[in-house]
Amino acid sequence: MKKHLKILKCYFRLNLASAVEYRASFISQAFGMALSNSTFIFFWWIAFSQLGGNIADYSFLDVIFIWAVTSTGYGLSKIFFANASRITQLISTGELDTYLLQPCNILLSVISAGTTLTAYGDFCYGIILMAIGYTRDIYAWGWFIVGVFIYGILLTAITVFTHSLSFYMGDATVLGALSTEFAINFAIYPEKIYAPLIRTLMYSLVPVGIAVHIPLSLYREFSFEVTLAAVVTVIGYCCFTYWFFGRGLKRYESGNMIATRI
Amino acid sequence: MAIIRTKDLTKTYHTRIKAEGLKAGFSSLLKPEYKDVTAVNGIDLEIEKGEIIAFIGPNGAGKSTFIKMLCGILYPTSGEISVLGMSPIEKRRSLTMKIGTVFGQKSQLWFHLPALDSFTLLAAIYEISDAERTRRVGELSERLDLTEFLTTPVRRLSLGQRIRCEIAASLLHEPQLLFLDEPTIGLDIVGKQAVREVILESNRDRGTTVFLTSHDPMDVEHLAQRTVVIDNGKIVVDASLEQLKREYIKERVIEISFVTPQRLPQLDNVKVTVEEGGLKVRLMVQDNLEEILRNLSTLEGIADITISHPPMEEIIASIFRKQGEVG
Amino acid sequence: MKQLRKYFVIMRVSFTNTLTYRGAIFAKFIFYTLFIYIFMSLWRAIYQEGSVHGYDYVQIVWYLIMTEFVGFASGADIYRTMNEEIKTGAIAYQLNRPTHYVAYQYANALGQSIVNILSFGVLAIVLGYVFVGPLETFSMHTVVPLIISILLGITLNFFICMLIGLTAFYVEDNYAFFLIYQKATFMLGMFLPLEFLPGWLQKISQNLPFSYVHWAPARILVDYSPEIGLRLISFQLIWTIAAVILTLLCYSTGVKRLVVNGG
């Protein structure tokens, strides 16, 4: 475990060093992402100033909270584990070989070997939103931090899960992109806008509801049962993903099939 | 003690047949058709510690599938493998601590960063202490002559410099067994020579066992003590270097261009091909190279003359021909 | 005449070429449907709290179907193409071709756009009917002005993106410009009808080009009158002409610079 933390630290350092090699575009991309996120808050500001009160049971501050968690959590996942969304590519080109030849946990070293520049902007943006909306509300900050960690971990797990499908059924790029899109859009709007069927998805296949809407409800009113259920689901989902990836690895063909044309 | 031992090792790929066209595409979505392709077909092989083995064969013969099974990248369909006394599948992690790999185009180095940074990461991965790392990086950069460009981002290095860094990266944890897949591909003569020397040195000084594939007959001739040829997933020839040289790589190709068409003197034991109406001749020479050259020196109007090995494909083809005669 | 024929052929080749990427179009269909579904859900929730500025629920959903349609139909990523061509120097090889580079790129993009307009057009109508039913305010009189407005919106978007891409001749990193443009169109019409914005912002935005990419065609679709059609289309036309002129200027000075300084 200690060794893997050291490797994780090493990957982070190298990723950051690669990013800093292109300083100007790093800053403009990170800043641009924060700006881009602001346009959504602009939308909500317009909507709430027209209607006042609540939309689908969420106040403007509630929306700020779910946005902050999603943005920082997304940033966390994409700063440390950006490579999760490249798994399909690694499988089809056979680049996965490099990781299989190293004495480490494969999944962990695969997902931590890349970063996304814009993610630094997402990461900071959520914190800025919290600072504006919940300045000194320690309790809200607490649930924010919990939500960010869960969102970061779950988003990574969801991405790994969908991309692991490439081991079983060929190219899962579209499915991977789609699951990310779900993971974001389930999180940044009040959950009640979605039909009940979609809402079940939000707590099962793409369980980001646990990372965003549950911390918000726990902030409003704490419940031990809900907390326990949420923790069990998150751990269960991650374990399942880990197993699913490992099982898929046995079917890995190291890019050899590309050469086979019939 | 055998360092690698395989018994009846087989790998079959289960491939989906892709249908062309929209209609066929839809029906294959509903009812996909599969086809089995056997890449490695029952290979038995034993390699002793300290050997340098060249593994050759035409493209698609099953070379890389075989190597990848030895390293634990691919799961075999059936058969047994033992590498350094371990099963690559069950003990992948402990095995990787003891093997090093250079796989053609796949890089272990970070493209935008200096090689030195990659070495630091690899040291963490292979659990090498900081002091030990400094010592080994120093030693390797001296042997491979990397010192000048160790702190230059990899993307700015020449191919030769990069391959040398790749080899240093794979030797950093002092592996007992080294897998090299086309280590000299794309290098110039000097680069090839440097790479070969490092491989030989590792083998001589630390007894590293080396398993390599190559399309360059010179690699095989300079490095390998033993050569295994495979085709269609099966071993066709397993011979020592002497045997191989005696029987297969003894041929040289002499190509001569003339200013005006010439008639060649009578030569024994030589296969002659005349091209471009006598302006160009190609001689396949067996073991009497010196004598032939002496005879040729009497010719006039030579524009250019080159002597080379026949390419690997021809050597392999001649091996297959001999096999056919025997069998 | 021969000149025009040439560009027509380029367009046709690009059209058939785009048709071969059925998988990519199908993937985009999924995303288009997803976005429309999410926006529909969102606006349904908002409309439960009260109605907004004369748009009823059915109109707002059709409005968003149209703005997203323009976005998906635009297709060609000319901004990135220009950046790559300039940074790699590939643009220099285009100079000695007997076609005008800007016109060539536009014909190429138009070929792609036509495929997208046809395929996404069908999808858009199906989605609208399935999600909220027919648009009561729509009549056959709207068809011609709507098509003109859509084509102008796509063209305007193309030339602004090309112009931003061409700034790579002069600045190291033009990503910030592109982002600002993208977000401005997003806020000023794509995500929200202009009428929803505060009065002062509406005034400013009606005098800027951004709203004429998405807002204009969507506004014509949901509530057409000859006056509003004429006004919006003439603004679109003016901004498109301005963008074309600026693009041509930026291209010719940039290329001169490239030739003089040798890349």
Grouped pLDDT means (10 residues each) for chain B, 327 residues = 90 73 58 80 92 87 88 90 91 90 80 89 90 92 88 87 89 92 83 86 91 84 88 87 73 82 74 78 78 79 80 72 62
DSSP E strands in A74-138: the ranges are none
Q: Give how far B285 is from chain A: nearest CA, Å.
A: 36
Write the CB contacts of A38 (distance below 8 Å, at least 6 apart in sequence).
A125
Which residues on A lie below 8 Å from C27 (Cβ)?
174, 177
- Cβ within 8 Å, pair A103-B126: yes
Under a CB-based contact definition with an 8 Å cutoff, are residues C38 and C168 in contact? Answer: no
For chain A, the domain total comes to 1
| Partners of B6 in beta bridges | B45, B81
Range of lowest pLDDT (A20-24, A144-148, B107-111): A20-24
Q: Scanning every residue of chain B, which has its alpha carbon at the shortest distance from the alpha carbon of A16?
A: B113
Q: Which chains touch B (3 or more CB pairs under 8 A)?
A: A
Task: Select the residue from A102, A108, A110 to test the B interface by mutation, using most B Cβ atoms within 10 A.
Answer: A102
Could you give the maximum distance between any two Cα atoms of chain B, in Å? 74
Q: Is the pLDDT of residue A260 over 50?
A: no
SS3 state of residue A33: helix
What's the confidence (pLDDT) of residue A151? Answer: 96
Write the CB contacts of A214 (distance below 8 Å, at least 6 apart in sequence).
A226, A230
d(CA B181, CA B102): 6
Q: What is the pLDDT of residues C207-257, one digit of tens each?
A: 999 999 999 999 999 989 999 999 999 999 999 999 999 999 999 898 888
- Cβ within 8 Å, pair A47-C41: no
The tokens describing C76, both together, are 């060609």
- Mean pLDDT, all residues of chain C: 89
- Cβ within 8 Å, pair B64-A250: no
What's the confidence (pLDDT) of residue B214? Answer: 83
Q: Give how far A48 is from chain C: nearest CA, Å.
A: 9
d(CA C37, CA A14): 41
In a domain, A66, yes or no: yes
SS3 state of residue C103: helix
Domain boundaries, chain B: 2-12+41-247, 252-308
What's the confidence (pLDDT) of residue C14? Answer: 87
Closest C-alpha among C153, C176, C175 to residue C239 = C153
Q: Among 3.40.50.300, 1.20.1440.230, 3.40.50.261, 3.40.1160.10, what is the CATH number of B2-12+41-247? A: 3.40.50.300
What's the confidence (pLDDT) of residue A122? Answer: 93
More confident residue, A71 or C97: A71
Predicted ipTM of the assembly: 0.83
- Most confident region among A156-165, B59-68, C85-94 by mean pLDDT: A156-165
Which residues on A lie below 8 Å from C186 (Cβ)?
39
Could you give the maximum distance between any two Cα atoms of chain C, in Å? 63
- Mean pLDDT, all residues of chain A: 89
Q: What is the pLDDT of residues A180-198, one digit of tens each?
A: 999 999 999 999 999 999 9
Q: Considering the entire predicted model, what is its pTM?
A: 0.83
Which residues on C lie below 8 Å from A35 (Cβ)?
179-180, 183
Q: Is the pLDDT of residue A252 over 90?
A: no
- Cβ within 8 Å, pair C34-A181: yes
What's the confidence (pLDDT) of residue A225? Answer: 92
- Which of B35, B106, B127 comes nearest A97 by C-beta? B106
- For residues B125, B126, B130, B132, the Cα torsion angle rounded to the nearest 10 degrees is -160
The CATH class for the domain spanning B252-308 reads alpha beta
Task: Select the residue from B73, B90, B156 to test the A interface by mutation, using most A Cβ atoms within 10 A.
Answer: B73
Q: Count of residues for chain C?
A: 263
Range of lowest pLDDT (A43-47, A76-80, B83-87): A43-47
d(CA A122, CA A63): 16
- Which of C45, C49, C50 comes nearest A192 by C-beta? C45
Q: Is the pLDDT of residue C193 over 60?
A: yes
Q: Give how far A6 is from chain B: nearest CA, Å.
A: 7
In a domain, A262, yes or no: no
Residue type, B101: T
Which residues on B lie below 8 Å from A259 (Cβ)?
60
The tokens describing B269, both together, are 């034991």
A55 touches C at CB < 8 Å: yes
Which residues on A lie below 8 Å from B155 (Cβ)?
none
In a domain, A15, yes or no: no
- Which of B60, B92, B113 comes nearest A17 by C-beta? B113
**Which run of H or E residues covers position C10?**
helix C2-19
d(CA A192, CA C44): 11
d(CA C259, CA C110): 29
Range of the domain at A92: 22-253
What's the confidence (pLDDT) of residue B30? Answer: 63
Tell me the C-alpha to C-alpha distance, in Å, between residue C204 and each of C196, C208, C211: 14, 7, 10
Closest C-alpha among A177, A83, A82, A76 to residue A125 = A76
Q: Is the pLDDT of residue C62 over 50?
A: yes
d(CA B38, CA A68): 53
Buried b (16+ CB within 10 A) or exposed e, A56-88: bebebebbbbbbbbbbbbbbbbbbbbbbbbbbb
A169 touches B at CB < 8 Å: no
Q: Is the pLDDT of residue A60 over 90?
A: yes
d(CA B263, CA A132): 94
